[in-house]
Amino acid sequence: MTHVSHADTVRAILYFIGQGHSPEQILAEDPDIDADDIRAAAMEGLRALEEERVPGRPETREERIARVRQKHPHAFLPWSPNEDAELIEEFKHGATVAALSRAFGRPSGGIRMRLDKLGIDPRRGKETD
């Protein structure tokens, strides 16, 4: 019989939860796991997150990029010429900064900065000097 470590059990449970499995599904699929294991895995995951946060320590660039990319997958990535052309076209046809943010997977601030860099005032949609 193979021994599975507590850490492996916790990782497996958190992985399955992250994949959208409910605790009930996990319990039904693995008879070696019980409700206490799922609660313990959740608490360990929470503890790990809390340990990452050190009060008063500023967020590193890598941490900020990872956090922002959770919501905006293309944040901080270079823009291609095709993306620039599409951005200009969509904006000139009335797309809002919020809509462009969703479409391009980038934060609203990134959209405004790119429009400005391309010579378009994001507040008015007119070319800048």
42 part of a folded domain: yes
58 part of a folded domain: no
48 and 14 share a domain?
yes
113 and 83 share a domain?
yes
pLDDT at residue 8 greater than cutoff 60? yes
Asked whether the beta carbons of 35 and 69 are under 8 A apart, the reply is no
pLDDT at 119: 93
User: Which residue is it, tokens 């008879």?
Assistant: 31
pLDDT at residue 53 greater than cutoff 70? no
Does pTM surpass 0.85? no
User: Which residue is it, tokens 């009335």?
Assistant: 94
